[in-house]
Amino acid sequence: MSLSLLILIVLALGVAGYALARARVTAQANGDRRRLHSLIGYYGHTVFLFATVPALLLLGAWLLLQPVVIDGRVSSMLQPGDIPEGGSLSLVMSDVRRIANGLDTLVAQGQLTEAALTTLRTETADVRGQLGSVGIALGSDVQTNVLEAAKAYRGQQGTAQAVMAAVVLLASVLGLALSYKRLSPDFRARNVFESFVKALLIASSMVAVLTTFGILFSMLFESIHFFQLYPAKEFFFSLTWNPQFRGGSSLGIWPLLWGTLYVSFVALLVAVPIGLMIAIYLSEYASKRLRTFAKPAIEILAGIPTIVYGLFALITVGPFLRDYFAQPLGLGTSSSSVMTAGLVMGIMLIPFVSSLSDDIISAVPQSLRDGSFGLGATQSETIRKVVFPAALPGIVGAVLLAASRAIGETMIVVMGAGAAAKLGLNPFEAMTTITVKIVSQLTGDTEFASPETLVAFALGMMLFFFTLALNVIALIVVRKYREQYE
């Protein structure tokens, strides 16, 4: 039974429950709706919810857990000898899944009957060729155990699907029946319905908490896994980053951290003065016309996807800097460099700094400015000596937020900063960052359980805590400042 059909049936049961409930309470009240505790719709809604929500939740949970359980049972069928040299269990398991899918297609196309499938042997039939004919290309011949595992996988998958459909339908019918039985004119349908809805609301608000836990635990588990394979001391103190396919890599975080901080520093060097001056000019000097035009125009920069900035760095800024600055000055020949990424990222950060600082500068009370003017200060003196110091904590918060953006930014550095991990000072040289290496280690072809892949999780963990710390500090600073003038 297909998933969409199952969902439709459950929903249909819910709608039927709604109609049934209305009919039943109307009959019980002899058609006099005034004798009902709640408005008649609530009886229907209640039954609808009980018939659908638990069943759909069950369906979701089942779909999440089914692959885990089946994988576990099937992979125990495989012998250590089935795993080829240099391969891993997860690779063999993905073959098993693909073979099982291929067998499904073969059966669906009628090239193979169920009976023939049970007697299918690798010794007697060209399984690989048959699978190839339905678009499942395998790297090597199918081994006996793998084929058996695939058959078992297919069988269990089928059984699990059937059981799932049965269980979900049962839950739906059960929910419908139980709530239907409780119906009577005195049944406090509105209260029950509202408690149910409130529970759903609470559950929704828990999604954010679950996400955070998901992030923390997924990175924690894989990081621990990584540190079991690779010494933590090396990771935190080694000065070289040099992953190797065949093991023996050195995975020190310092070159990446240096690249990240260097690029972010250049970006902030661009964004902070420009963004701050924009905020000051627009809030203190600009005519209303310029402000209504320039403020949204600059905020458009914040709405442009980072991939656009990445492309801009790659095809315009990078070659420009190389041809007009790096090569004439003899500083390098690479179009991807710290400068390229930093400059473009700085442009991206301008609206963050400017709109946050704008809010903060506007929040400085007018009386401070008036007092300063009254003492004979010029406007720029007022801004530099009165407004700016008063707004400083908030501006620091804005800069910290921008810094956390810069550290976590990925696409611009992937396309603009290069991939060479080194500790250097030349801003026209290619360097690399934490985010670039997370992408390259996780999109490569290396085996998942190797330290070269798992290091990405440790890097992600560092990144997460880094940005988290910056954000928390920024929030505290901003909050403290707000209290001052309210």
Partner 1 sequence: MTDANAQAPRTSLFAPDARTARRNNSEARFRLFGLISVTIGLAALVMLLSSVLFNGTSSFRQTMLELPVTLDAKVLDKKGNRNPDDLAKVTTIGYGRLISDALDKAITDNGIVVDGLTSKDVKDMISKEAPAQIRGRVLANPDLIGQTVSFQVLANGRIDGYMKGRVTLETAERDSNVSVNQLHLADALHEKGLLDMPFNWLFITAPDASELRPEAAGLGVAILGSAYMMIIVLVLSLPIGVAASIYLEEFAPQNRITDLIEVNISNLAAVPSIVFGILGLAVFINFVGLPQSAPIVGALVLTLMTLPTIIIATRAALKAVPPSIREAALGVGASKMQSIFHHVLPLAMPGILTGAIIGLAQALGETAPLLLIGMVAFVRDYPGAPPEGFFDPAAALPVQVYNWTQRADPAFVERASGAIIVLLIFLVIMNFVAILLRRRFERRW
Q: How far apart are CA 448 and CA 351, in angstroms?
A: 39
Single residue of 277, 333, 370, 480 touching partner 1 by CB under 8 A? 277
Using the minimum distance from each CB to partner 1, give the nearer residue, 74 or 112: 74
3-class DSSP string for 456-478: HHHHHHHHHHHHHHHHHHHHHHH
- Per rule CB under 8 A, is residue 438 in the interface with partner 1? yes
Determine, following the binding rule CB under 8 A, whether residue 214 of this chain makes contact with partner 1.
yes
Angle between helices 434-443 and 451-485 (to 10 degrees): 140
Contact call for residues 351 and 303 (beta carbons, < 8 A): no
286 binds partner 1 (CB under 8 A): yes
The sign one gets for the Cα dihedral 242, 245, 247, 251 is positive
Q: Does 285 bind partner 1 (CB under 8 A)?
A: yes
Enumerate the H helices of 230-253 as residue ranges.
Answer: 232-237
In eight-state DSSP terms, residue 44 is H
Residues near 312 by Cβ (< 8 Å), separated by ≥ 6? 344
241 phi, psi to nearest 5 deg: -120, 110
Our finding on whether 235 is near partner 1 (CB under 8 A) is: no
Tell whether residue 236 is a contact of partner 1 (CB under 8 A): no
Asked if 300 interacts with partner 1 (CB under 8 A), we say: yes
The verdict on 414 binding partner 1 (CB under 8 A) reads: yes
- Contact pick of 163, 229, 290, 476 for partner 1 (by CB under 8 A): 290
Q: How many residues does the chain have?
A: 486
Establish if 207 lies at the interface with partner 1 (CB under 8 A).
yes
Please give the residues from 244 up to 273 whose contact with partner 1 meets the rule CB under 8 A: 273
| Given 333, 448, 476, 484, the residue binding partner 1 (CB under 8 A) | 448
- Other Cβ atoms less than 10 A from the Cβ of 34: the count is 6
Choose, by CB under 8 A, the member of 22, 128, 190, 482 that binds partner 1.
190
Residue from 31, 303, 328, 330 binding partner 1 (CB under 8 A): 303
User: Please, which residue, 57 or 307, has the CB nearer to partner 1?
Assistant: 307
Nearest approach in angstroms of CB 351 to partner 1 is: 8
Q: How far apart are CA 315 and CA 312, in angstroms?
A: 6
97 in Cβ contact with 146 (< 8 Å):
no
Among 82, 222, 358, 429, binds partner 1 (CB under 8 A): 222
Q: Which of 355, 392, 406 is nearest to 478 (CA)?
A: 392
Q: How many residues bind partner 1 (CB under 8 A)?
A: 92
Segment near partner 1 (CB under 8 A); pick from 170-178, 334-342, 360-368, 434-442: 434-442
Can residue 347 be called a binding residue for partner 1 (CB under 8 A)? Answer: yes
State in angstroms the smallest separation of the CB of 258 from partner 1. Answer: 18
Radius of gyration for the chain, computed over Cα atoms and rounded to the nearest angstrom: 32
Residue 474 to residue 261: CA distance in whole angstroms: 18
Letters for 68-97 (x = contact with partner 1 by CB under 8 A, - = none) are: x--x--------------------------
Of residues 353 through 392, those in contact with partner 1 by CB under 8 A are 354, 378-381, 383-384
- Using CB under 8 A, which of 121, 198, 479, 480 touches partner 1? 198
Q: Is 219 in the site for partner 1 (CB under 8 A)?
A: yes
Identify the DSSP state of 141: P
Two structure tokens written together for 425: 């000072």
Token code pair at residue 77? 């069928």
Among 205, 287, 366, 367, binds partner 1 (CB under 8 A): 205
**Interface residue with partner 1, options 91, 464, 473, 482 (CB under 8 A):** 464
